[in-house]
Structures are given as structure tokens and as C-alpha cells.
Amino acid sequence: MTVEDIKNFSAVAAAIIALIGSLITLFLVWKKEKRFEKQRQQFSLQLQGTELAHATKLQDVELTHAEKLHDTELAHAKQLKHTELAHAEKLQDERHDFEKEKQVLLEAQNKLNHLYAQQLQQQKAELDAWKTGYEIEIAARNDALRKLRTAVIALFDHFQNMLQLALRADDQEILGVLARCVQALSNLDKAIDAAKSIVRNDIEAEKLHRLHIIKRFFLRVILDLTRRKTERLSQAPALRKMESRLKKRKEVTMLYLQSVMEERPRAPSISASK
């Protein structure tokens, strides 16, 4: 065997060895890939089982949650219905109480209206009685003041007539007129007392009481005439002076009396008229 054959044989052997190595490598790679594929399939199956278990568990949880939610909704609906029924019953009771209170208030209002109508009628009757009493008192007051005014005028007229008779020295007629003057003085006293008993105002009563001053004036006139007749003094100048004083006194007295008559009388109280 030549060197060339040996080289060729070596090359062939090396090629065969390399081919065998490649085949072994390919076999090992194929085997490893086969094992890897098997592991991958096992992992995939395991993953699918896990996913299926997880999905089943999730479905069970969802079903449980749905059942709990449904139970909660049922309980809430039941509680809500119970609350609505209780609220409706409470509203009905409150409405019943309100209607009852309303009826009580209406009855009380009717009683108050009836009482108010009675009081109003009573006050109207009292007011009518007060008005009647006031009108009666006003009429009596005005009548008393008119009588007083008439008595004052009559008194002044009698004394003026007496002075005129005294100027004519008619003693017989003077005595008659003097008697009428005395009677007029008495009538004046009665008229003043009657008017004082009618008026309610103390100021008016005081003003009427002051009319008694006229008596002193006329008494002085009577005394002066009597003294002059007794002492036979000259009467004409004194009588004219006395007549002038009498006229002035009459004017002052009439104005004074007119002021009393024009004063607004104080109204009587309702309790007094009652």
C-alpha cells in the first residue's frame, strides 16, 4: 500500500469520522429537540390545565359573587319595601293626627268666633247704652245750662227794671219788682246747683260755682237801694252808675256763661253707662 493510498484512506476515514460525528450531533440535536418538544407539549398541557382550573375557579367565584349580589339585592329590596311600608304607615298616622288636630283647631276656632261674636254683640250693646247715656247727659246738661242762662237773663232784667222804677221813684212797684228779684236770685241758686250736678268736669263745676258771685253783686245793689231809700239820698246819679255797672256785669256774665256752654263735655265711661 502506497503513501498515496494511505493518504486517501486517511482522508476517507476522516470524512467518515466527520460524517459520523455530524450524524451523532444531528441525532443528539434531534433527540434534544424531541425532548424539548415533549416538554413544551407537557408545559402547554399543564398551562391549559392551569388556565382551565383558573377559568373554572373564576367562574365559580363569579357565580358565588352573583349569588351573593342577588341575595344582597333581594335583602335590600325587602328592606326597602319594609321601609316604604313603615314610612307609608307613619305618613298615614301623621295624616290622621293632622286631621284630628285640624278638627280640634276648627272646633276651637268656631268657639272663639262664637265667643268673639258674643263679645262684639255685648260691646255693641254697651256702646249703644253708653251712647244713649251720653246723649241723655248732654241733653240734660244743655237743658240745665239753658235754664241757668234763662235765670241769669231774668235776674238781670228784673234788676234793670227795678233800677228804672227807682229812677221814677215808684216805691210801690219797686217793692213788687224787688220781690221778683229775690225770687230770681233763688231761682239762680237752684239753676246753678242743678247745672253743677249734671256736669262731670270739675273745671266746669268750678266755673258754675263762680256764678254765685253774681248774688253778692245783686245783694249789694239791694242794700244800696234800701240805704238810699232810708236815708233819702239823691238817687239819680248813683242809680245810673248802678245801671251801667249792671249792664257791664250782664255782658261779662253772659260771655262767661257762653264759654261754659261751648265747652265740650267729658264723655262718661262705658262702665258708668253699663
- What is the CATH number for 226? 1.20.120.1730
Residue scoring higher pLDDT (71 or 141): 71
Domain assignment present for 96: no
Rounded average pLDDT over 88-103: 91
Domain assignment present for 254: yes
Q: At what angle do helices 171-198 and 3-167 cross, to 10 degrees?
A: 160
Residue scoring higher pLDDT (112 or 263): 112
Residue scoring higher pLDDT (9 or 89): 89
| Per-residue model confidence (pLDDT) at position 49 | 84
pLDDT tops 50 at residue 230 = yes
Percent pLDDT > 90 in the chain is 8
Domain assignment present for 93: no
Rounded average pLDDT over 198-224: 70
| Per-residue model confidence (pLDDT) at position 21 | 86
User: Average pLDDT of the chain?
Assistant: 78
Domain assignment present for 234: yes
Domain assignment present for 140: yes
* CA–CA distance, 155 with 114 (Å, rounded to integer): 60
Domain assignment present for 58: no
Of 127, 141, 124, the residue nearest 273 (C-alpha): 127
Under the banding of pLDDT at 50, 70 and 90, the label for residue 233 is very low
Domain assignment present for 6: no
| Per-residue model confidence (pLDDT) at position 173 | 63
Number of domains in the chain: 1
Rounded average pLDDT over 180-193: 77
Lowest-pLDDT choice from 67-76, 96-105, 149-158, 171-180: 171-180
| Per-residue model confidence (pLDDT) at position 232 | 47
Give the range of the structural domain holding residue 181, as residue numbers without chain letter.
130-273
Rounded to two decimals, what is the model's pTM? Answer: 0.43
Rounded average pLDDT over 212-231: 68
pLDDT tops 60 at residue 10 = yes
Residues in the chain: 274
DSSP type of residue 263:
S
pLDDT tens digits, residue range 39-52?
A: 888 888 888 888 88
Q: How far apart are the first and last CA of the chain?
A: 179
pLDDT tops 80 at residue 208 = no
DSSP type of residue 255:
H
Q: Where does residue 26 rank: exposed (0-12), middle (13-18), buried (19+ CB within 10 A)?
A: exposed
One-letter amino acid for residue 8 of the chain:
N
Domain assignment present for 236: yes
